[in-house]
Amino acid sequence: MAMADSPEAVVIAGATTSPRADSDLNHTLRRRPSASPVAESDSLNDLVRDSGVDDSVGAKIGGGGDNGRIGGSDGSAESVNAVQDKKGLGENDRSGDPSAVKFAYRPSVPAHRRVKESPLSSDAIFRQSHAGLINLCIVVLVAVNSRLIIENLMKYGWLIKTGFWFSSRSLRDWPLFMCGLTLPIFPLAAFVVEKLVQQKCISEAAVVSLHIVITTTSILYPVVVILRCDSAVLFGVALMLFACIVWLKLVSYVHTNYDMRALHKAVEKGDATPSSLNTEYPHSNNLKNLAYFMVAPTLCYQTSYPRTACVRKGWVFRQLVKLIIFTGVMGFIVEQYINPIVKNSKHPLKGDWLYAIERVLKLSVPNLYVWLCMFYCFFHLWLNILAELLCFGDREFYKDWWNAKTVEEYWRMWNMPVHKWMVRHIYFPCLRHGVPKGVAIIIAFLVSAVFHELCIAVPCHIFKLWAFIGIMFQVPLVLITNYLQNKFRNSMVGNMIFWFIFCILGQPMCLLLYYHDLMNRKGKLD
């Protein structure tokens, strides 16, 4: 039937109808054969639910009784007749029975039977499907960005040069390339130290000292090479990222072996029970495991990892194609949009504040696109490709960080390899040594801030601490968004603050600051 007001509502709501008419109609409906008992039961369930009948009545509807019986002997006779009237009247209505139409569309049938919220109200908005609105946003984004691309090409022309991909200056960066090739020496040195302590050739204090020297040298060596060579910023950033990954993996390798060594000694003394973790220790620490760990898409060392059965070659090829496409999209946005905006801007902290705000807002959209493409290329495509080639099973490289309601949730979900490393080797060790939880969180942010500053300031040869300040500024934001989340339950206030800080204010401002400082440095050198 086309109308939502159903005949059973007349009976349930207590509307006055003729008992004889109801009896005759029900008698007629009961003689009507059912095509499928199960289908009839399902339709009855739907009719009861849609018509607003109490859930207890709907729960008593059985699956496939003879003659349209309702399952459960304690069912209400009125509800039974009402549901059967609904089904029968629907058929009569389609056949054009005037008496059925006259009975169904009574003015006394209640139109409002339950308390309901509007679909876009704050209590119901996240329980609704918004697929249509998402499609609308996609259409609007495509239309708006297509216009911007055409407008940009008409105004500036094609700005991408061949030097973006390869230039003669790239050949002068061979010291950085050689530095990257020699970084595996440090994991090999750490492995030798671990073998020496296993054979009891050196003391535990000597092991700690040697590992401190090895890990410190592994991060200072690339820093010295980059600072001594006037190389391209992009190559410097790539080398520093590689060096930071090696350092994080070395710390995890050393820390894990130290813990397994302590457990092994405790088992020998009888202070701990044997477990699979410590009984494997002397035999699991081999060069093959270390080599696999150094190339695996994880920062946390362990003797074995969950593995997949095979490599899907077709899947890998498709992901590689996507990686090439999105890398090209990033290059296009950087060269065609971000570079002209940055070059035509002034220092955001020197000059007209309105002009600086306009530049930051204009830069925020292309910067957001590049950031999202970077996330998709690295965390989804590249790490999954690497995991597939190595049959690495645990591929939770990120969670749904875009739904984070607080800044703390975002940092826990957007970069899972680093988050797991921080929890395993910074946060919990601090708690085990009696450090308060708040201080442990600050220490974790401090370590993250130092590495962010290294990856940006060293390649730029600028130490203004903009990246360090930006990361440490997350600590008060964590407190603010946690307070808002506790005060306004089930709200997205924290999520809005996160998107505003990261995509509109934080990253564009940091980009402008580093660009102008870099240009000032080059001007002084010239």
Residues noted as catalytic: 452
- The closest of 56, 104, 99 to 79, measured between CA atoms, is 56
- Strands of 317-404 (E only): list them: none
- The closest of 425, 473, 413, 410 to 445, measured between CA atoms, is 473
Residues 6+ apart with CB under 8 A from 508: 359, 360, 361, 363, 364, 367
Tokens of 397: 């490289």
Contacts 24+ apart (CB under 8 A), 277-281: 277/303, 281/257
Tokens of 225: 């090479």
- Cα–Cα distances (Å) from 194 to 209, 216, 222, in that order, read 12, 17, 24
Q: Residues 339, 343, 348, CA angle at the centre, nearest 5°?
A: 110
- The closest of 217, 221, 219, 9 to 107, measured between CA atoms, is 9
CA dihedral sign of residues 441, 446, 451, 453: positive
CA–CA dist 34, 43 (Å, integer):
12
CA–CA dist 469, 371 (Å, integer):
20
CA–CA dist 73, 439 (Å, integer):
64
| Exposure letters 455-488 (e unless 16+ CB within 10 A, then b) | bbbbbbbbeeebbbebbbebbebbeebbebbeee
Tokens of 193: 């130290």
CA–CA dist 319, 184 (Å, integer):
27
Q: Locate tokens 């600590």: which residue?
A: 475
CA–CA dist 221, 208 (Å, integer):
20
CA–CA dist 379, 194 (Å, integer):
32
Q: Count the Cβ atoms, other than its own, within 10 Å of residue 160.
A: 14
| Exposure letters 491-517 (e unless 16+ CB within 10 A, then b) | ebebbebbeebbbbebbbbbbbbbbbb
Helix axes 233-269, 185-198, angle to 10 degrees: 10
CA–CA dist 215, 49 (Å, integer):
65
CA–CA dist 507, 265 (Å, integer):
49
- The closest of 233, 219, 223 to 521, measured between CA atoms, is 233
